[in-house]
Amino acid sequence: MSKKTSSWVLEDAATTYGIRDWGNGYFDISAKGEVVVNLTDGKKTRPISLPDIVRGMKERGMQLPVLIRFGDLLRRRIEELNEGFANAIAEAQYRGVYRGVYPIKVNQQQEVIEDVTEFGRKYHYGLEAGSKPELIAALAYMQDPQAYIVCNGYKDEEFIDLALQAQKMGLQVILVLEMPSELDLILERSKILGVEPALGVRIRLFTEGGGHWCESGGEKSVFGLNIAQVMDAVDKLRDRNMLHCLRMLHYHQGSQIPSISAIRNAAVEAARVYVGLVQEGAKMGILDLGGGLAISYDGLKGNSASSADYGMREYCADVIEAISEITDEAGVPHPDLITESGRAVVAYYSVLVINVLDINRYEPSGINKLPARSPALVKNLFELRKLTRSRTQKVTSALVREVYNDAVYYRDKIRSEFSSGNISLRQRSMGEEFYWEVLTWVATHSKTAELSPEQEERLAGIKTDYYYGNFSLFQSLPDSWAIDQMFPVMPIHRLKEEPTRAVVLSDITCDSDGKMDKFVHSQEFHNTLPLHDIKIDDEYMLGIFLVGAYQETLGDLHNLLGDTNVVSVKIENGKLKYLRELEGDTVSEVLTYVEYEPKDLARRFRVLAEGAVSKKLITAKERREIVDSYEEGLRGYTYFES
């Protein structure tokens, strides 16, 4: 086990894991060495221990892994966004209003949509729907006549009819033209239903945003109209005396845009187009800047794909300033503004807590005497190991390099001899053991020697432990696997102790891609994460933070590992309350997703077991126990159960 060292203090833990950089004031470390979440209790903010939340969850019968949702953080993010624009509007004497919308696709869970509409009500904060199912969900929860429902994505007749009928009932539904062909169908359906549509048009900017999703904006975007297509739509509407229906200009620069200069440049370009549409005679009045407001996953506050070189206040102020300058110059009234900020609103909302199930690391060999007739190459490595164990040997740069080169040479020769049949499997095993122990010594003294990058990379593997976490990367953190998205990871307890192990975190999917080996700690990027030495019978818990955006809805059923348990918590009158406890997928539920019928599976297994009884391989009593165990497995959690 790691021991508390005299030089390690809590401030070191905060610096190492960067919790005060990416935590945005929502997460911190307590005097007990535990991660806390700062939740609002009336007018006070109280730190709540994540380990305490997990303990309470376990007392209620739930197991790890668990996704913990904090509605209070979602509320505060909505408030910060809306108040940020309100302050920027007041300071700049901007003459439009802000009416943001939450894009449902970022996290479609019912609880999220319910919380967004409840917390956003006082700001007339709306929803963005990119599909018919999302629109159906939006219409059930968004019934504020002053809030917008923005309809993006591909639209069939049923989608359009539903939007127009909602508009007829008094809701502010805007149908955004994403492709030229949509306009004719919208106008046709609006004539049949007797409703003049509120139209928006999405343009393809030439200003790109950068980051992972830069191609979702700019001229390479799949959706949106180029300027010539926009003018064709304007002419068509004018010919039908319906140009007044064009109310909104929309663009989408990308998600998680790291640079504020790119955001400002896009706002300038869009404002120029907006002014041009007003000058063409369109009614307009609304400018929708789409998504892109970033958060700092890595805490470095830079312009990398996982970071942002700006904060929410600067974002709001720069957008307002850029648009007001262009519209004032043209003498055009300031438009009302919409943003579709989803990631920045909901990312902090969820934390995944997992436990470590097992460890794989190099352990020194216990061989102190060679068997008779051991091959010379194995003896050479044995002698090399004796040299590294010598306390009288002076360690120099030359010695470290010499030992390294000799160990690699002997190991490679042993493997060659094994392939030729001249060395047995056990002899090769001994040679490999000595090799790893020698390289462990080299790694300990690597700072003494000037090793090449290739040599350093070889040594990095020796220094690395593999911790197996009770989770599926593909289910809970798909962006980590697919696009190398960074997520903050750290222990949620034992932070008064110095972490001594360099770790790659693996999931339990038995897939080589199911691992996390890219981290930010100590203000730098690393391929390992510092964690504590542990014993398997001790529960060691890690938190994976900022997972509220996209991860729940993008996750797949790799190895048929389903949704985790979910707990929603809040603090009220000083007491922790568990608002919702959603059990994760059972084995039978996951199997139904891939077209198995659990009753049929059980029937088939009972037939197999009865056949084993007939062959006298098992008794009838054993059959009952085996069948009961199989059916209990169908009802169980897909993750490791203690």
Give the model's pLDDT for residue 219. 59
Q: Which position has the token pair 């009961």?
A: 628
Does residue 433 or residue 212 have the better pLDDT?
A: 433
Task: Give the mean pLDDT of 61-79.
Answer: 96
Name the band, by pLDDT with cuts 50, 70 and 90, for residue 3. very low
The letter for the amino acid at 616 is: K
Task: Give the mean pLDDT of 191-211.
Answer: 88
Question: Quick one: how far is CA 471 from the chain centroid?
Answer: 14
Indicate the helix (H) or strand (E) that contains 447.
none
Give the model's pLDDT for residue 215. 56
Active-site amino acid positions? 510
Instruction: State the pTM of this model.
Output: 0.89
pLDDT per position as a tens digit, 500-537: 999 999 999 978 889 999 999 988 999 999 999 997 77
Q: What does pLDDT average to over the chain?
A: 92
pLDDT value at 214 more than 70? no
Give the contacts of 280 (CB within 8 A, at least 6 positions apart): 231, 234, 243
- Taking the C-alpha atoms of residue 131 and residue 155, their distance in angstroms, rounded to an integer, is 7
Question: Is the peptide bond between 145 and the residue preceding it cis, with omega within 30 degrees of 0?
Answer: no
The letter for the amino acid at 499 is: P
Give the model's pLDDT for residue 556. 74
Q: What is the DSSP letter of 98?
A: B
Task: Give the mean pLDDT of 577-605.
Answer: 91
Evaluate whether 101 touches 149 at the Cβ level (below 8 Å): yes
pLDDT value at 464 more than 60? yes
pLDDT value at 207 more than 80? no
Asked whether the CA dihedral 116, 122, 128, 134 is positive or negative, the reply is positive
Nearest to residue 302, comparing CAs of 13, 21, 16?
A: 21
pLDDT value at 203 more than 70? yes
Q: Which two tokens stand for residue 245?
A: 């229906």
pLDDT value at 1 more than 50? no
pLDDT value at 134 more than 90? yes
Task: Give the mean pLDDT of 559-567.
Answer: 87
Name the band, by pLDDT with cuts 50, 70 and 90, for residue 93. very high
The rounded percent of the chain whose pLDDT value lies above 90 is: 77
Give the model's pLDDT for residue 4. 47
Report the 3 state secondary structure along 521-582: ECCEEECCEEECCCCCCCCCEEEECCCCCCHHHHCCCHHHCCCCEEEEEEEECCEEEEEEEE
Name the band, by pLDDT with cuts 50, 70 and 90, for residue 220. low
Q: Determine if residue 619 is left, alpha or beta; phi over 0 gives left, psi from -120 to 50 gives alpha, anything else beta.
A: beta
DSSP string, 77-138: HHHHHHHHHHHHHHHHT-SS-B--EEEGGG---HHHHHHHHHHTGGGT-EEEE-SHHHHHHH
Burial of residue 425 (CB within 10 Å: 0-12, 13-18, 19+) is exposed
Task: Give the mean pLDDT of 459-471.
Answer: 86
Find the helix packing angle between 260-279 and 312-330, rounded to 10°.
Answer: 30
Give the model's pLDDT for residue 484. 87
The letter for the amino acid at 7 is: S
pLDDT per position as a tens digit, 429-444: 999 999 989 988 888 8
Give the model's pLDDT for residue 51. 97
The rounded percent of the chain whose pLDDT value lies above 70 is: 97
Evaluate whether 39 touches 25 at the Cβ level (below 8 Å): no
Name the band, by pLDDT with cuts 50, 70 and 90, for residue 555. confident
- Taking the C-alpha atoms of residue 335 and residue 319, their distance in angstroms, rounded to an integer, is 12
